[in-house]
């Protein structure tokens, strides 16, 4: 190798070695500068701005307990949407505790209009659906005109009602039923 071939490699190595040194030297903390010749005769001292430090809080009983212990002692408020609406919206005077006093009774074949929402275009619309299968725990509604496999849908709903519903309710608790 001759000098013209080696010189670019040496130059690159020097730049790689000097770059971190230059960068780190720019991060160095400089002592205050005193300028005695500011025209007024009085020296000017330039210092860094003071850095505020947080006052440490005294150790309290909550700092000595684990997060799990703190959470087990915390009483979480119930999520009462009715109460929240009454307290937070001054225009609302009264909201009934139960929306429907007597539950509606449906039969297979009934058709009902449902409100739906398309999240892609933020559009609300109505869908007419038919009750195609029901158990004690599940009503299966399918949009009128949609193709589906009734046998598979009924089998899935029956399996859920007979095998899953009671176990999941025992484990997770009852669903919200206003």
pLDDT in tens, 16-41: 888 878 787 777 666 666 555 555 55
Domain membership flag for residue 14: no
Q: What is the distance between the alpha carbons of residues 103 and 101, in angstroms, rounded to a whole number?
A: 6
Domain membership flag for residue 138: yes
Q: How many domains are contained in the chain?
A: 1
Domain membership flag for residue 129: yes
The whole-number average pLDDT for the span 34-61 is 66
Domain membership flag for residue 132: yes
Domain membership flag for residue 143: yes
Domain membership flag for residue 135: yes
Higher pLDDT, 107 or 31: 107
Domain membership flag for residue 136: yes
Average pLDDT, the chain: 84
Domain membership flag for residue 152: yes
Look up the domain containing 161 and give its range. Answer: 107-171
Give the pLDDT score at 130: 98
Whole-model pTM: value is: 0.49
147-156: pLDDT as tens digits: 999 999 999 9
């Amino acid at each position: 190798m001759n000098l013209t071939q080696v010189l670019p490699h040496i130059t690159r190595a020097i730049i790689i070695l000097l770059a971190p040194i230059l960068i780190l030297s720019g991060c160095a903390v400089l002592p205050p500068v005193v300028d005695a010749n500011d025209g007024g005769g009085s020296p000017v001292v330039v210092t860094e701005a003071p850095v505020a430090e947080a006052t440490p809080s005294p150790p309290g009983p909550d700092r000595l307990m684990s997060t799990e212990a703190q959470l087990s002692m915390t009483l979480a408020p119930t999520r009462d949407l009715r109460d929240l609406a009454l307290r937070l919206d001054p225009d609302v005077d009264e909201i009934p505790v139960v929306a429907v006093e007597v539950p509606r009774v449906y039969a297979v074949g009934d058709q009902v209009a449902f409100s739906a929402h398309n999240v892609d275009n933020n559009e609300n619309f109505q869908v007419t659906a038919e009750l195609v299968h029901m158990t004690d725990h599940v009503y299966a509604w399918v949009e009128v005109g949609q193709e589906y496999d009734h046998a598979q849908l009924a089998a899935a709903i029956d399996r859920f009602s007979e095998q899953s519903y009671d176990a999941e309710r025992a484990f997770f608790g009852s669903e919200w039923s206003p």
